A and B are shown apart, each in its own frame.
Chain A
Amino acid sequence: MTRTRNPDSESESESKPSSSSSSSTGMKLIVPLQGVVQGRGGILLGSLIPCALFYFLQLYLKKRRRSNHNNHSSNPPSPSSSFPELPRTPSRSNLSSRGSITRARLSRLASTISDDDSAYYVGLNRASRDPYHKFSNPDGIIQLGLSDNTLSLDLIGDWMQKWGSGGGDDDLSINGIATYQAFDGVDELKLAMADFMRQVMGRSVHFDTSNMVLTAGATPAIEILSFCLADPGNAFLVPTPYYPGFDRDVRWRPGVDLIPVHCRSADNFNLSMTALEQAYAQARKRGVKVRGILVSNPSNPVGNMLTQDMLYNLIDFAEDKNIHLIVDEVFAGSRYGSEKFVSVAEILDSDSEYIDNRRIHIIYGLSKDLALAGFRVGVIYSFDRNVLAAARKLCRFSSISAPTQRLVTSMLSDKRFIQDYFETNRNRMRQVHDEFVDALSKLGIKCAKSSGGMFCWADMSGLIKPYSEKGELELWEKFMSIAKINITPGSACHCIEPGWFRICFTTMSLEEIPLVIERIRRVVEVCKSSS
């Protein structure tokens, strides 16, 4: 270090004695250090010494850069940053800036997410600030951008009331709660959940409670799986359009990338294996490590189902590439259409000898099928013991609180209630869906064919002016300001074709449909008149 800092004095002192002994005076000055070098080994030293000096300089610069970074990391350099010549201790230099307000740095994650908002979240926030109410705020924004089901909330409410006034009190007592509670859910709830999942996904399937980890919602379940299956910089393949929340759950903290596999309206947004193969090959070419496929079945937002053949194809694909298959089945019980739903668990159950089930993971939750979004109950169902062990530990960060576990346990154990609920809910969903799709088609808006989930996936490409994402967002803005309806634009779901919108129909009652349609008509008319 000392050498680099004053090379002048050094080269001077070294070249002076040699100048007196040598004859060719001109050269001495021209080639640095020539005097030293002239003897034997000149070629070696003559290149080594500049290199060494250069190396020290690099070292010095590196050190300087680092300590500079520490002092005023990422913030605009404060005036005191002109670095002193001597490597003073960094803390000293901070003392000099004491009093001047330097803000402590936040992490990269915090700074990126605090202003990362897709139209999906902007819409949700705007709608929550000015919510529609029949009497108190008839001009408010109607929220059709969520994925909530309020069609059968009355049933849940009734059940709660009965439970509250009946034998429920004992169940609430906290004394019964063990001192040490397993983070991944009490066994009673797991048992009830296994039964419930069997009821929802097909009676032939057996769900084993030891393969189950309960989390505070399906959202953390996806995140925990991402943490377990991939490292930062790895990627999952995801068929588009996909649920906008995946971006947050998979990308933010786990740092896992999502590679879109585009599905098109021509196939009614069904997944094609060639597209999957292609996306995989392209990712590989870019050097991205693909760790798994993340699919939702019934799909969100489109609402179509994966056929049994497709599931076999996906399993084969995963096996072939040695990657995981994560199937998000949170809408498994919210079906109203004619298509048959096949849970991947059913396939594993029937074909257990041929399939390596350790690479298949199922996500489930009560938010959609039982409309208990606020209860935050999610399930990871996996066959890989290591994944389960890791997930159990990570549950500490999103465990279900004790009263909720008790409440849900008794609700799920009430088989009769569950049965009734599903029947009623299915009928009501079918009714609203058919009515709404019908009314939309009268406005000239077609929907993709769907059999499950809570959404209409509507094609409004006829209403957007430039056929592009920009046109789509402009139309979305019109829906917000003119019609006062919050729906989700396709671009938030990473749909490759512009002009598609996700409309949640389960938050409106039959009586509200005309109102919503009337508001949509306003937008349609504005668009038609301007074009």
Chain B
Amino acid sequence: MTRKDNKKPPPPPPPSSIGGGGGGGTAMRVIVPLQGVVQGRGGLFLGSVIPCALYYLFQLYVKTRTRHRSSNSPPTSPHSNSTPSPSQNLPELSVLPRSLSRTHLTSPTASAFLSGRAASLATDSPHFAGLYKAAENPYHRVDNPEGVIHLALGDNKICVDLVEDWMEKNLSGAVLEERGDFWGIGITGISGFQPLDGVMELKVAVASFMSQAVDNSAFFNPSQMVLTSGVDPAIEILSFCLADYGNAFLVPTPHSPSFDGAAKWRTGVEIVPVPCRSADNFNLSIAALEQAFNQAKKRGQRIRGIIITNPSNPVGNLLSHETLCTLLDFAREKNIHIISNEIFAGSTYGNEEFVSMAEILEAEDHDRERVHIVYGLSDDICVPGYKTGVIYSYNKNVLAAARKLARLASVSAPTQQLLTSMLSDARFMQKFIEINRLRLQKMYQAFVEGLKQLGIECARSEGGFHCWADMSSLMRSYSEKAELELWDRLLNVAKINVTPGTSCHCIEPGWFGFCFALLTEKDIPVVVERIRSVSEATK
């Protein structure tokens, strides 16, 4: 900043006081600093500007000094002051080029630097720790009856047999032989520059399936779609597109444990929880949203959007038409984005009707550019491991950016081919959706009934694969610590891997997520029996 700039800010004195005489007593000269200089004309002005300028220069000096120091020692992040991350430096400011790499040289055994991002990934949340444990020793009714039953948030395997049948019928050798290019060999090649955001055929099939899944209450345009290798990359790409390092998203809790990684790890975006409570059956309240927003703002955090999950994960309740409209108003008022994660849209089984964000945008004149829908195929159509996610956005710039970022998470050709032919079989898919719903409903009821026998109540849910159960009665005290201790007992004593509420950032301790879509009905008594053993030990 130059001097000129400094002249603007000084506190404007009353104009009436200017125009006084130039005389003064001698004692004054000593007392008021710079009086000699000032005494002439413009004394008032200079008399205040000069101390201010000196003070400003002093500030500047202090500032650069501290910055120097911080670029020598672990400096602050270049993007935001609110979240200092270790060892990033401001290259343009380190005037002294030594020091940085020297510090490494001084310690001869030091291995080459890893990024702060890599270092921060070292810890595991219980959710993932449980996954590894369950994967090591999986339960099997016959082969491994002592193994860990996997009930943590996860996939849907309830209709795997239907998919198997379909594949057997449609992908048998004879069919394949007729289409030599089935496995995507034809996708590449001299004429076909492979689109990294998914082939059009699959997009068309996905669009029609998505409308099918919401009972044709909304239509989806394949050209607004970007396909990614899973839901996590879809959310990650959206948070890369919508928020800068250090910005934040509002997320109602409890939320899926995978959000922490998808929205935060690499993007450097933060999650501001909006707590929902059991008293409201974990429904989102706009008052809580407003409060979280204002508090974040007060902290100096910049909120760039809301991520909602509908049907929610893990609770499984639906956002009503009214709530969605209020959310849209809220987003417009604050000028932020909405990411609507609708991965369970096709897996609703309750009486309430699911309303997709797309349906509302179709019917009403909201500004659509701030709404982005995320959808996933592997869960709703029961093909775990197929890892296909969808970004459906109304914002052209977001789509353009997401298409380019899709190169870093594109769906592999064989998967695209398989899904295209499966989803294009509309009759099969229709049947599939119906049966899937019926089975989910049946399993949900059976599972909730089983837990009830033990005195464990579940939150009411209308969709998804999870029971959100209140096990606080089994805890030794009402705290997060006791919850994790119970989780540990369930995993190691009862050999059941469930997801503790803390992994989902639930504000009330004692809630656990059970994924029932991985079980068969015969498994339910086993699970209930195992929980009973823990509950009896507690009593």
Residues of A within 8 A of B (CB): 4, 7-8, 11-12, 15, 23-32, 34, 37-38, 42-43, 46-47, 50-51, 53-55, 57-58, 61, 66, 70-71, 73, 90-91, 94-95, 98, 101-111, 113-115, 124-125, 127-128, 131-133, 142-143, 146, 148, 150, 153, 156-157, 160-161, 164-166, 168-169, 172-175, 177-182, 216-217, 219-220, 223, 227-234, 245, 248-249, 252-254, 284-292, 318, 321-324, 356, 358-359, 371, 373-377, 384, 386-387, 389-390, 393-394, 396-404, 407, 507-508
Contacts and interface: CB of A to CB of B under 8 A. Distances in A.
Contacts of A95: 333
Contacts of B297: 70, 90
B189 to A, nearest CB: 5
Contacts of B11: 4, 7, 50, 53-54, 57
Contacts of B267: 253
Contact of A146 (B30, B39, B193, B369): B193
A234 B114 CA distance: 11
B17 interface: yes
A166 B173 contact: yes
B307 to A, nearest CB: 14
A399 B232 CA distance: 10
A6 to B, nearest CB: 10
B129 interface: no
B247 to A, nearest CB: 8
Contacts of A291: 112-113, 115
Interface stretch (B153-161, B474-482, B530-538): B153-161
A285 B261 contact: no
A177 B415 CA distance: 14
Contacts of A31: 28, 32, 35, 38, 43-44, 47
A444 to B, nearest CB: 26
Interface stretch (B130-138, B424-432, B449-457): B130-138
A358 B115 contact: no
B171 A169 contact: yes
A110 B78 contact: no
A199 to B, nearest CB: 22
B242 A110 contact: yes
A407 B110 CA distance: 42
Interface in B411-431: 411-415, 418
Interface string B471-508: 00000000000000000000000000000000000000
Contact of B229 (A7, A8, A401): A401
A21 to B, nearest CB: 14
B118 A228 contact: yes
A383 to B, nearest CB: 10
A106 B17 contact: no
B387 A399 contact: yes
Contacts of A219: 407-408
B496 to A, nearest CB: 14
Contacts of B397: 106, 110-111, 114
Q: Which of A50, A102, A150 has most B Cβ within 10 Å? A: A50
B100 interface: yes
B194 interface: yes
A402 B418 CA distance: 11
A377 B412 contact: yes
A322 B104 contact: yes
A25 B85 CA distance: 58
Contact of A98 (B33, B88, B332): B332
A376 B258 CA distance: 23
B9 A58 contact: yes
Nearest to B403: A114
Contact of B177 (A28, A47, A165): A165
Nearest to A393: B121
B335 A94 contact: yes
12 contacts: A27-B24, A31-B35, A57-B10, A106-B395, A107-B242, A125-B193, A168-B173, A168-B176, A174-B383, A179-B150, A289-B101, A374-B188
B176 A403 contact: no
B55 A55 contact: yes
B112 A228 contact: no
B122 A389 contact: yes
A508 B33 CA distance: 84
Interface stretch (B90-98, B209-217, B218-226, B316-324): B90-98
Nearest to A44: B33
A160 B101 CA distance: 52
Contact of B412 (A146, A182, A288, A376): A376
B122 to A, nearest CB: 7
Given A25-B21, A31-B32, 19 more contacts: A26-B23, A30-B43, A46-B32, A55-B55, A98-B332, A102-B335, A110-B241, A113-B401, A115-B400, A143-B190, A168-B176, A174-B383, A182-B135, A287-B91, A358-B111, A374-B412, A398-B233, A401-B412, A403-B414
A84 to B, nearest CB: 18
Given A104-B335, A110-B401, A231-B85, A289 B193 contact: no
Contacts of A180: 131, 134-135, 150, 154
A397 B236 contact: yes
A287 B96 CA distance: 7
Contact of B184 (A29, A148, A232, A374): A374
A402 B236 contact: no
A133 B181 CA distance: 18
Interface size class of B (residues with CB under 8 A): 35 or more
Interface centre among A177, A234, A245, A322 (most CB of B within 10 A): A322
* Residue of A160, A177, A182, A398 with highest tally of chain B CB at under 10 A: A398
Given A161-B177, A173-B164, A397-B266, A287 B92 contact: yes
A227 B193 contact: no
A302 to B, nearest CB: 23
A29 B51 CA distance: 18
Nearest to A249: B408
B69 interface: no
Contacts of B138: 178-179
Given A107-B244, A216-B229, A30 B189 contact: no
Nearest to B43: A30
Nearest to A405: B385
Interface string B182-214: 111101111111110000000000000000000
Contacts of B85: 231
A407 to B, nearest CB: 6
Max chain B CB contacts within 10 Å: which of A115, A233, A384?
A: A233
B185 A160 contact: yes
A305 to B, nearest CB: 25
A487 to B, nearest CB: 14
Contacts of B262: 396-397
Nearest to A115: B400
Interface string B61-82: 0000000000000000111000
A7 B12 contact: yes
A404 B414 contact: yes
B9 A179 contact: no
B191 A402 contact: no
B48 interface: yes
A233 B91 contact: yes
A323 B112 contact: yes
Most chain B beta-carbon contacts within 10 A, residue among A51, A124, A219? A51
A53 B265 CA distance: 43
Given A57-B9, A398-B408, A231 B88 contact: yes
B173 A38 contact: no
Interface in B320-349: 331-337
Contacts of A179: 134-135, 138, 150, 154-155, 157, 384, 518
A402 B385 contact: yes
A106 B112 CA distance: 35
